[in-house]
Amino acid sequence: MKADVFNPRALREAFGAFPTAVTVITANDPADRPVGSTANSFASVSLDPPLLLVCLAKTSRDYPTVTKAEHFAINILSEAQKNVSIKFARPAEDRFAAVDWARGPNGCPIFAQVAAWFECSMHDVIEAGDHVMMVGRVTAFESSGLNGLGYARGGYFTPRVPAKAVSSAAGGGEICAAAVLERHGSLFPLGDENLPFPSCSAAGGDLANTLASHLEQLGLSVHDWFSLLDL
């Protein structure tokens, strides 16, 4: 099937099956006034040199300003900043009055309480249909350890695992996980007296696989594996 006969709404919904982070691209206009737009097409590109990529719609009112800026910033919103995403996705006036922000080393607007921010010099602007791909070379960044806000299938979501658990795993700390098992319609604990549920600890890595391996060592054959509960 040729691309020009795709149903745009159906294609948009299919693209939306891929969960993404939610960001706000910020820069300054020629009068040094802040501008910003919500975007969720963001990706890291390279560590050496440090490059990232974000896509901006040509219909964005800040498109001419941002694409011509010498520097821009990516604010990765935290899970408590859904309202910030909504505000910067709409053509409202004075959107910056509703958010706590400061200027980065190169003057770009950096939001408070974001999961992370990156200030970049413009590396390349690539035409891509009704969007442009902005490739930025990272000149400064900071990660707060907060969970990022997610977006999928037209709605926002927040990570299920607490930020402290994610930070613990990334830093080599231990996470404890337990499995709640069901057999023939009843919960299936272990042992004869206290009847605990099977649990294990892991230092980083894939906690789901670690727990699955632990269950196999106990002689348990598990089907219909759904999710982990962080304790």
Both 22 and 71 in one domain: the answer is yes
Please, what is the Cα angle at 8 between 5 and 9, to 5 degrees? 135
Residue 55 lies in a domain: yes
Both 34 and 139 in one domain: the answer is yes
Q: Which residue is it, tokens 């607007």?
A: 109
Q: Any alpha helices (H) in the chain, and if so which ranges? A: 8-15, 63-68, 82-89, 163-170, 207-217
Q: How confident is the model at residue 113 (pLDDT cuts 50, 70, 90)?
A: very high
132-166: pLDDT as tens digits: 999 999 999 999 988 899 888 888 887 655 555 55
Both 176 and 140 in one domain: the answer is no
pLDDT number for residue 228: 43
Both 125 and 23 in one domain: the answer is yes
Instruction: State yes or no: pLDDT of 213 exceeds 80.
Output: no
* Average pLDDT of span 198-217: 68
**69 close to 43: Cβ distance less than 8 angstroms:** no
Structure tokens at 55: 């896509």
Tell which of 103, 124, 152 closes a domain.
Answer: 152
Domain of residue 204, CATH code = 3.90.79.10
Residue 114 lies in a domain: yes
Residue 207 lies in a domain: yes
Domain that holds residue 177: 162-218
Both 29 and 126 in one domain: the answer is yes
In angstroms, the CA 75 to CA 87 distance is: 14
Both 85 and 139 in one domain: the answer is yes
Residue 2 lies in a domain: no
Instruction: State yes or no: pLDDT of 224 exceeds 60.
Output: no
pTM for the model stands at 0.69
Both 35 and 87 in one domain: the answer is yes
Both 143 and 166 in one domain: the answer is no
Domain of residue 84, CATH code = 2.30.110.10
Both 48 and 115 in one domain: the answer is yes
Both 104 and 127 in one domain: the answer is yes
Residue 230 lies in a domain: no
Instruction: State yes or no: pLDDT of 230 exceeds 80.
Output: no
54-69: pLDDT as tens digits: 999 998 888 999 999 9
Mean pLDDT of the chain: 81
Both 146 and 169 in one domain: the answer is no
Both 97 and 134 in one domain: the answer is yes
Q: Which residue is it, tokens 């231990």?
A: 174
Structure tokens at 46: 């390279």
Most confident of 23-27, 177-181, 214-218: 23-27
- Count of domains for the chain: 2
Please, what is the Cα angle at 142 between 140 and 148, to 5 degrees? 130
Residue 224 lies in a domain: no
**35 close to 65: Cβ distance less than 8 angstroms:** yes
Tell which of 95, 127, 152 closes a domain.
Answer: 152
Tell which of 152, 174, 197 closes a domain.
Answer: 152
